[in-house]
Amino acid sequence: MQTTGGNLDGFRILDLTSEPGFLAGKLLGELGADVIKIEAPGGDAARRRAPFVGGRDDAERSVLWLALNTSKRGITLDLDRARGREIFLALCEQADAVIESTGPSDPTSLAARGLGYETLRARNPRLVVCSISPFGQSGPYSAYRGSDLIAVATGGNMYPTGNPERAPVRCSLPVSYYHGGIEAAVGVAFALYGRELSGEGQFVDVSLQEVMLIPNMTSPTQFPLTGFKGGRVGGGFRGNKAFFRELWPCQDGYVSFALRGGPARIPGIIAFVKYMEECGMAPAALTDHDWTKYNHNLITQAEVDEIETALAVFFRSKTMRVLFEAACERNLMLAPAYTAREIAASRQLAAREFFVDLDHPELGTAIKFPGPFAKSNFTPIGIRRRAPRLGEHNAEIYGTLGLDVATLATERVI
């Protein structure tokens, strides 16, 4: 196999996941593992999800597929056929880990196909098997179905997100799949570490509901102490005596800035007042306030309102870029709510050579991708290859098992 020099170089991972688990295999691949995406012969459902590169509905052009399946090779295999299951078990003998995301009640789960953990373990006791499911493998909700919306709702991250006059709201992209995808990758890496010590693999059970708990930043655990059930406050936060605005319209978008206190933040507030003063836009309510002793739990709503009126006028007079450059130069805790356009143009990300142009010769184009999720001084992290075309590596991988792809195709196994 190819040598990448990554931390997980030499580990082979079979990736049976659909969208909820795409990120897991991508991250493991970008750490150097040889990740093999296994799809049913018709291809993963994500391949049929718009938008498509060039606007054409085509299995090789889905943005969702291309974006989250980098650093994987790809094969097709029909697990509904006995021959397919037999080949899968042979692949498991040579693999270090399997990741999947069907859920225990799904009729297409590995267990439902007679390929549950005990069966795989019997063939390869060193194998790590990681399942991502809506609620976990056991327990009263384990048979329940759920996609991102359900995980974010039942995990408690939706109720406190939103505006008070409207319904609780989720992020428009599936954050539980991101939390769950990284969690699954953590589980695989932990279990591989454990295997180095014990020689044995294990089963890892990731719940999408449960991964959404820690993102609530301990608020649920505080409920028995405070009785606070959460609530929607729009773009802002609540101190002991006042509500603070945190998202402000500016000339061409929005910026995040709040009068949050604490020693780490006070210098930023003082620098911000100075910035407004230099622009001739700081009223006495700001310049006369003793910010060195500022505590957002002590200030009253009337004081906050007066200050925030001036802030609103100031932000409306500037663009996201001007404000962010000032923030970087003056150490202000102010950040623009960037869209993909500004992120792609970020000077910081450019200086770190974060974005990579990935050649997609079949599409006649190169596409700019987010690159490494971290940097390591000795072991490269980052995209190893573009997402696989449907069945792209069938010959290469089945060849190593001594199987002939033409025969497999005739048998309709791939």
Phi, psi of 41 (to 5 degrees): -55, -30
Pick from 42, 58, 86, 222 the residue near other proteins by CB under 8 A: 222
Pick from 90, 119, 141, 393 the residue near other proteins by CB under 8 A: 141
Which contacts (CB < 8 Å, 24+ apart) does range 336-343 have?
A: 336/250, 336/253, 336/254, 336/255, 336/256, 337/247, 337/253, 337/254, 337/255, 337/256, 338/253, 339/253, 342/253
Whichever of 6 and 391 has its CB closer to other proteins, that residue is: 6
CB 191 within 8 A of CB 128: yes
167 is an interface residue for other proteins by CB under 8 A: yes
Pick from 80, 145, 300, 302 the residue near other proteins by CB under 8 A: 145
- By CB under 8 A, the count of residues binding other proteins is 157
Whichever of 114 and 231 has its CB closer to other proteins, that residue is: 231
CA–CA gap between residue 263 and residue 328 (Å, rounded): 19
Task: Transcribe 390-403 into DSSP letters.
Answer: TTTTHHHHHHHTT-
50 is an interface residue for other proteins by CB under 8 A: yes
Stretch that binds other proteins, among 152-160, 274-282, 299-307, 405-413 (CB under 8 A): 152-160
255 is an interface residue for other proteins by CB under 8 A: yes
Enclosing H/E stretch for 117:
helix 117-123
CA–CA gap between residue 61 and residue 363 (Å, rounded): 8
Sheet containing strand 247-249, edge to edge, reads: 247-249, 254-256, 335-336
351 is an interface residue for other proteins by CB under 8 A: yes
Pick from 287, 301, 309, 331 the residue near other proteins by CB under 8 A: 331
Whichever of 171 and 401 has its CB closer to other proteins, that residue is: 171
Provide the 8-state DSSP code for 62. B
Stretch that binds other proteins, among 80-88, 108-116, 281-289, 372-380 (CB under 8 A): 372-380
Pick from 36, 258, 269, 276 the residue near other proteins by CB under 8 A: 258
Enclosing H/E stretch for 256:
strand 254-256
CB of 27 to other proteins, least distance (A): 6
Contact track, other proteins, 68-97, x by CB under 8 A: x-----------------------------
Residues 102-121 that bind other proteins (CB under 8 A): 117
Phi, psi of 100 (to 5 degrees): -150, 165
Residues 259-298 that bind other proteins (CB under 8 A): 262-265, 268, 295, 297-298
